[in-house]
Structure 1
Amino acid sequence: MILIIVPIFFFQAVLIDFARIKLAERENDAAVQAAVRSVMSAFDPDLQVWGLYGLGVEQPQAEQIFSEVFQGNLSGSVTPGGFHYLDQLPAEDSQRMTPVYSLASHVIFEKQILEDMKIKAPIEFALEITDKFKKTGTAPAFQQGTQFSKEAEELEQLLEDRDEALDQAWSLMEEMHANATTYHTYYQGRITELNSLADQIGIHTADEVRSELTNVQNQLKSISDSIRNLDMSLAAMAAAGAADWRSVQSIMESRSNLQGQMRALSEQQAAWKQLLDNIVKYAALVAATKLEVPANGNVLRQLQQQMEPEIKRAKEINARIRDKLGTMTGQAGDKAESYKSFQSVAVLGDDYFYNYQTAAASITALFSAFEGIVDSVYLYTQEHTDRANQANEAYWRAADEFYAKQHAVETARMQKRDEITASKREQKNKIQQVLDQAKQSIGACTILSQSSADAELYRKLQGDSGDPSAASTGYFQKYRQANAQDPGTGNEVAYDMEKSDKVSLKAMDMLDAFNHAAAELRDELYVNEFALSKFNYRTYGLEKDESGQPKASHELTNPSTHSLQGQEAEYLIYGFSSCGANISSAYAEMFSFRLAIRTLEALLDPKKELLNVGSPLLVLLAAAAEGAAKAFIDMNQLVKGEAVELSSKIASSAIKLTYKDYLRIFLLLHSNDTKLMARMQALIELNTGKDLVQETTYMQGNAASSIRLWFVPQLMKVMEGTGLLGCTVEHNRCRMASTAVWAY
């Protein structure tokens, strides 16, 4: 009986304690979970009004709550004393609360935003905004307006590049013509001079002339000696006093004859010297001409070589213009009337470039022929002179005839271009005048809040850019670094109103960007709407409902009481370190958007006289000038909180948008969740004083308890090694640990 009863007893004892252990494990798990939930119920009420949840107590207090709730849910702690099936007690120093994630994490922050905003009415309105654009049929018009501006800009650049190449080619041709004219006149005189010298020289050679000169000089010397001897004889006769009249007369006659011969020989000597000078001069001129003509030929050939690539470049660009216009003409059937301006764009024929190339080549070739004649001629007889003159005339006539013909063409081209340039400048000036007015109407931030106070608030948000120390780090950089992101400030979105042409073209790009943003970034509307719901902006409190009363805000945060007045949403979008920069950027971008809308309206009904000018960009600038004036009026209404109709010409049904609606659009256009969320976190800390790094949203609780074993602890110790027990046997108690996590 003992052998039978004892095993049964041990089996029952083990089974009872095993069942108690499993019940204790469940009780311990439930107690830990209840304790963690109790800790997380102590959320921060200051953040809750923002739709955010973070632990509102410090770590020691959280651990105290956890310990109290954990112990209060253990059976051994509920009613001490007496009999308990489970006498479960907490283990000493086993309760621990570990914070895991905080609201500084963008993943957690965004998740809470999405949870808060998905049931809010403002998101329905945000979705309605993008849907309105689609339902009213603005997308095709926006796309067409953007396409027109891009094509006009691209085509204008091609036209400018072509004109630049043609201007360079024409400048080189003018230089070639001027040089050819100069050379022609110069060599015409040179050839005449050489021919004249050749006639004077005849068949004489320099050696022959020198020989004749020597002979004459010898004769002159002999005669001079004879005259001197006669003079000496006369002197001797006079001295002796024996002068005979007849002898004297004979000597005098001889002397006179010798002097006559001497004069004749002197004349011959002068003639031979002149002839020798002519021979030397002729030889020098021939040599110089043979050197000068090739040098001049190199100048003309170099001009041709410089002209050739410019003509080729202009021809290639002209072909691209022809292809582009051909493509656009094929698609012009369903385009706006403004596309007719592309039909008047001048496309040059291939003969234009062919004539240029052949003329330049002909001039250099004819000059080379002249160069060959000059090189082969040494004696400019009449025959050779005629050949040289004909060759000299040929290249000049080719240059002069092409220049006379092309000058009219180039003058007309440049005159038309100058007229278009002047018209574009006029339209740009009109746009700039409106831009200058708009810059004056942006408004000073001191009207919205105290600028000195703003500077200190922005220093907290953005840090001190002039101080690289860690102490200068602002809230924005802190939350960027907390998410392992580049702490750099700014959104790299800067809109100015300085240059009218860039403002006009950039404005049209916004329409296409909005089309893509509205279609592809729909999920980000939750985050964007949070930004516009929880924070203020320039016209906050100025907007009115349908009854004309100021729109009431139902947000618990009450954005009108925030530190930065009337500028928070602008800071979220642009991220600059001053009110002026953020407000002006929002104004400039809003003006650009309205400018794009108004420009598109004007393009639908363009000025007829501009369609045949040949410059689509001029048509765009004229439309932009007209649109800028209307956009300025729109902005005056928007900054007052009034709603402005999107467009009566573009939209199929009337829709009106406010300043806030345009901020919604800009949040879509400049989608950058990481920077936007970091700025929102920074503003929340600025307004609440709560460091979101310390605001825990995910907690892990660990705790252990033990129960007393009733029967054979040693036998349970043996079972501990099997892994079935789930607790650790310590003397006569079994210890069990549990972990629970909870997140908002």
Structure 2
Amino acid sequence: MNKVKSDASQGSITIFSAVVLSGLLLFSAVLIDYARIVVLHKLTEDAARSGVRSVLSAYDERLYERYGLFGRGGTDGDEIFEQTVQANFGRDADAASIQGEDSFKLVQAELESAHTDPAEVLGEHDVFVHQVLEESKYKAPIDFTLELAAKFAPLSGTMKEATVTIDILEELRKLYDKREEKLSTVLQLQRDAAETVTNVAGLIPTKALALATGTQHAARLAGDYAQYASWVLTDRQLAEQGKKVRYSEQIADFEQKARAWMDEMARELALAKKQHDKLQGEAVQALQSAKQFNEEMQRIKQEAANAPSNNGYDRVTGKKLAGEDAEAEVVGADPANDMKEIQNTADELVLPDSWFTDYSQEISDQASVFASLQMEAGGFISNLAAGIATPSMNNEQIKEGAVNLRIAYEQYEGAYLRTGSRIDEREQKLTDKEVKKERQAQEAKAGQLWSKARNLLHGMTSVPQSEEHLKVIQEIEKRYKDNLLFNQKADDAEAAGLEVAGDAHEEAENASSLIGGLFGGIADMLEQTRDSVYMSEYVLQHYASFAPQNLRALLMNGDQAELAHAVAFNNQEAEYVIYGFHSTTANLAAAYGELIGVRMAIRTMEGLSACKASAHPLLILSCSIVYGLEKTMEDMVAFTERGAAPLSKYINVDVAYTDYLRLFMLVHGGSDRPSSLARMIAVIEHNDGVTLSQVPTAITGEVQATAKLWFLPGIMDMIQGFGSLQGKVVDGKYETTQTIGWSY
């Protein structure tokens, strides 16, 4: 009985053990396959990572050597990727084979597919900027740009005052000339009004020669009146006595002459009054316009005094910069004090309101004196008419009226017609002939000098363009537009063409504005970020700029032959990046136009101080512009000789043309604008023969691999249903896909 029970127990244990062991074996099999799946994931991921790194190890060597940019090049990327993945999958077996040993692999991965896709391309602006900045952070000599800023910094205070002075004087000059033109108009209208009165002079008259002539006039009529009255009275007595009258013809002749004179005098006076009143009214209007210009001058002076000081000059002033040394300090007395003194002299150009009140009264006085003449003429006509109606030998009013008429005319003539009249006196007060003459001479000289500078710029733009040069610029333009389209950016180029100032004064204003923008760019660079400096330095290091020496023949004798060969695009890449004109010469003209502008601004500042002794504000202005243009052209000669020129007579350092390009790039917003970036890319594409929008800088590699399951594929399929596996089970195989991204 016990034996039977023992056998039964042992059978139960065996069954229980079999059940337990079956579960353990099943669990172990699942764990083993799961472990193999994890190994497959890791193996596939490592193979994909190794593959993408291998693909990116093949880069465009020319692109890197010339521009420091990484981009895919060389062998096809998919080919490298697949070979690397295959090598990684078979690496262990290969190693065992080499050692002559049999190998056992827990997972025998089978490659189903492997390919790469570009994730980023060098033609994308964000990618391009990132690579440029990374390149420049290690290689761009940023201290060099800071040292350049340090050269200009000591001039900031002086240039601020010079800019304010030039701006004030130029604005006042324009209004001053308009005001003086209106005041000259007032004078001329007064003279024209006075001339309308001269037609009655012969009817009075006022000169002895006129008295002796046979022309009928007031003095003769007044002198003959007593005789006329005697004739009339005598004939009346004879008629009363019934006798024949004696003087009827003489009486009729006098009356006819008197009435003809009265008619003519009345007609001339009426015409004179009409013209006189009209011209006087126009004179009053012109004077009012002149006053308005003067008030505008007062406003400009007041605004200049209250102008805010937060500008590029003030932000640069006082900063301690890297590389700043004794060489870059102002030599001699600070010229800023001279500028402030000149600004104060500008008050002389503005007339007080009382001046216009007095002048307005003078115009009214002229009308009053004319009214007196008109009144005396009217009185004489009335007395003469009454004397004819009632003849009397004792009528002294006619003689007195003739005398008063002559006196009234002489008063008007002396005040407004003769040399030394009130109008002449007023003209003397208005116009300093010596100042005007000297100013005209200075303006003529400035015009000649500016014509020389303009001829240089026009000579650059008028250089014959070869077919070869045109083809290159057309290709560059196409690449530029294609890149903007690829980046979905609009063309924000600054201008469609080059504009050259019409005269020296306009150029002085443009130069003043340009130098202000230049100091603003320096201030932004010092206070905000160095990215713009990195970009600028990158352009100056990797892009060709035009050598000023190529302009020497054009500057010295107008010969364009040398320049025609030098305007090839590969000699002006940096200028193209800055200005963006799709022309073989416009970018050069723009760069050298701004160079002339900056040089003129600095040299005109020196001229203000040198010309301070001229006293009159507008003479100081014209003299300083002449000085500025003369020195600027000397600087241009220096650039064509050695590529550099002195910064200023107050700063004992040379600044090269390429240094000015660095600053111009700051003025134009650096090189991080979409249009600038597209131009940079277009130049690289032209030189390297690639399209950067097709050059990957980052790729994703995708590997699809499988491994056979050893034990129970069905169980793994069930596990997959619970979402516990990253891959999937297909026909007894586990399939996984791994995607890895990598970039330079």
**TM-score normalized by structure 1?**
0.71
Cα distance change, pair 349–152 in 1 and its aligned pair in 2 (3 A): closer
Contact 2:191 2:423 in 1 (8 A): no
Map 1:646-665 → 2, pairs under 5 A: 646-647=647-648, 649-651=649-651, 654-665=652-663
Contact 1:169 1:310 in 2 (8 A): no
What's the offset of the Cα at 1:430?
A: 5.8
Partner of 1:53, secondary structure, is coil
Q: Paired residue for 2:148?
A: 129
Amino acid at match of 2:135: D
Q: Paired residue for 2:132?
A: 113
Cα distance change, pair 284–592 in 1 and its aligned pair in 2 (3 A): closer
Partner Cα separation in structure 2 for residue 304 and residue 436 of structure 1:
40
Per-residue deviation, residues 16-39 of structure 1 (Å, max 9, x unmatched): 444433343333333222222221
Q: Paired residue for 1:168?
A: 185
**1:524 and 2:543 matched:** no
Partner of 2:145, secondary structure, is helix
Q: Paired residue for 1:667?
A: 665
Cα distance change, pair 88–593 in 1 and its aligned pair in 2 (3 A): same
What's the offset of the Cα at 1:489?
A: 6.9
Per-residue deviation, residues 250-298 of structure 1 (Å, max 9, x unmatched): xxxxxxxxxxx9x969x99989998997999799779968975774465
Amino acid at match of 1:623: Y
**1:149 and 2:166 matched:** yes
Partner Cα separation in structure 1 for residue 695 and residue 627 of structure 2:
54
Q: Paired residue for 1:567?
A: 572
Amino acid at match of 1:86: V
**1:593 and 2:598 matched:** yes
Unaligned runs of 5+ in 2: 1-15, 206-215, 230-238, 308-332, 388-396, 551-565
Unaligned runs of 5+ in 1: 203-215, 217-260, 463-473, 543-560
Q: Which moved more, 1:723-732 or 1:359-368?
A: 359-368
Contact 2:726 2:736 in 1 (8 A): yes
Q: Paired residue for 1:454?
A: 469
> Please, which of 79, 89, 108 is the counterpart of residue 64 of structure 1?
79
Cα distance change, pair 737–201 in 1 and its aligned pair in 2 (3 A): farther
Q: Paired residue for 2:553?
A: none
Q: Paired residue for 2:40?
A: 24
Partner Cα separation in structure 2 for residue 564 and residue 608 of structure 1:
45
Partner Cα separation in structure 1 for residue 93 and residue 127 of structure 2:
37
Per-residue deviation, residues 168-226 of structure 1 (Å, max 9, x unmatched): 32232222333355567779999889999999999xxxxxxxxxxxxx9xxxxxxxxxx
What's the offset of the Cα at 1:55?
A: 1.1
Q: Paired residue for 2:545?
A: 537
Cα distance change, pair 350–305 in 1 and its aligned pair in 2 (3 A): closer
Q: Paired residue for 2:315?
A: none
Q: Paired residue for 1:511?
A: 515
**1:42 and 2:55 matched:** no
Cα distance change, pair 608–110 in 1 and its aligned pair in 2 (3 A): closer
Cα distance change, pair 131–691 in 1 and its aligned pair in 2 (3 A): same
What's the offset of the Cα at 1:43?
A: 0.9
What's the offset of the Cα at 1:102?
A: 2.0
Partner Cα separation in structure 2 for residue 200 and residue 728 of structure 1:
146
**1:676 and 2:693 matched:** no
Q: Paired residue for 1:139?
A: 156
Per-residue deviation, residues 465-511 of structure 1 (Å, max 9, x unmatched): xxxxxxxxx33333333333345878668475874444444344443
Cα distance change, pair 539–704 in 1 and its aligned pair in 2 (3 A): same
Partner of 2:683, secondary structure, is helix
RMSD after superposition: 4.9
What's the offset of the Cα at 1:56?
A: 0.6
Cα distance change, pair 337–126 in 1 and its aligned pair in 2 (3 A): closer
Partner Cα separation in structure 1 for residue 637 and residue 228 of structure 2:
91
Partner Cα separation in structure 1 for residue 255 and residue 183 of structure 2:
53
**1:353 and 2:356 matched:** yes
Contact 2:191 2:416 in 1 (8 A): no
What's the offset of the Cα at 1:51?
A: 0.7
Cα distance change, pair 594–276 in 1 and its aligned pair in 2 (3 A): closer
Partner Cα separation in structure 1 for residue 719 and residue 221 of structure 2:
132
Cα distance change, pair 394–314 in 1 and its aligned pair in 2 (3 A): farther
Cα distance change, pair 488–516 in 1 and its aligned pair in 2 (3 A): closer
Q: Paired residue for 1:90?
A: 111
Contact 1:494 1:585 in 2 (8 A): yes
Partner Cα separation in structure 1 for residue 438 and residue 355 of structure 2:
22
**TM-score normalized by structure 2?**
0.71
Cα distance change, pair 476–387 in 1 and its aligned pair in 2 (3 A): farther
Partner Cα separation in structure 1 for residue 194 and residue 26 of structure 2:
125
What percentage of aligned pairs have identical amino acids?
23
Q: Paired residue for 1:335?
A: 336
Partner Cα separation in structure 2 for residue 147 and residue 523 of structure 1:
31
Partner of 2:138, secondary structure, is coil
